[in-house]
Amino acid sequence: MPAKRLQRPQRQVLAGLPQFDLPPDTAFTVTPIGVVRSPFTWREEAPRQATVGEAREATIVLRRGLQNTLKDLEGFDYAWVLYWFHRSRGWKQQIVPPRDTVKRGILATRAPDRPNAIGLSAVRLVRIYGTRITIAGVDILDGTPVLDIKPYIAAYDSFPQARAGWVDGLTAPGPDHRWV
C-alpha cells in the first residue's frame, strides 16, 4: 500500500505523534569495504540507472582480508551494491529529475546529490575471484567507495505491481534534460 501524506495537524495533536528526537550532531562513521573500478569516470558518461543502456562491466575490489565474506555469493545472479556518491556536489531539497520538467522532492528521486550521499544499484554478478567481483549493468563511477553488498532475492526484492509515483506519468523512455 502506498504511503499517504497526512494533512498538517494542529499543534496540540503533534504531541501524540512520533517525533525526530536524535541530537542534532548525531553522525555515523562507515568504513568502505571496497572500491569500484568502472569504465565511467564522469557522471555524464554513466547511465542514469543501472538497467538503462548497455550493460557495461565493472569490478568491485574488496579490501584485503575480506575474501571470506564472499563465500556463497557466487550462487546469486544479482546483488545490491550500496556505495558512497564520492562526487556528490551537495544537495537541494527539490530538483528537476532527468526525463521530467517538474521539481520533485529529493527523496522522491534517485539523484546522486542527496542529504546523505548513499547510492544503491542492483547489478548482475558475472564472476568472483579472490577479492574481486566482476559486475554488469553498472551505473557507478570509477573510484566509488563500496559500503556494502547484499544478495538480490527476487522473492523479497521484487514488487512488479508496485506504483512508481510521478515516474508512472512520464513518457518512456522520454527526453533527458541533462543532455539538451
Q: For 32-65, give the DSSP string.
A: --EEEE-S--SGGGS-SSTTSSS--EEEEEEPTT
Q: At 91, is the pLDDT very low, low, confident or very high (cuts 50, 70, 90)? A: very high
Spacing of C-alpha 35 from chain mean position: 15
Residue closest to 168 by CA, chosen among 99, 114, 111, 122? 99
User: Per-residue b/e over 145-174, b at no fewer than 16 CB within 10 Å?
Assistant: bbbebeebeeeeeeeeeeeeeebeebeeee
Q: How far apart are CA 178 and CA 102, in angstroms?
A: 14
Instruction: Report domain 29-154's class.
Output: mainly beta
Q: At 89, is the pLDDT very low, low, confident or very high (cuts 50, 70, 90)? A: confident
Residue closest to 58 by CA, chosen among 75, 25, 81, 89? 81
Per-residue pLDDT of 65-80, as tens digits, reads 999 999 999 999 999 9
Q: Are 125 and 77 in contact (CB under 8 A)?
A: yes
Q: Are 104 and 96 in contact (CB under 8 A)?
A: yes
Give the residue with greater pLDDT, 158 vs 172.
Answer: 158
* Grid cell in block for residue 6: 497526512
Least confident of 19-23, 121-125, 153-157, 171-175: 171-175
Tell me the pTM.
0.82
pLDDT of residue 151: 98
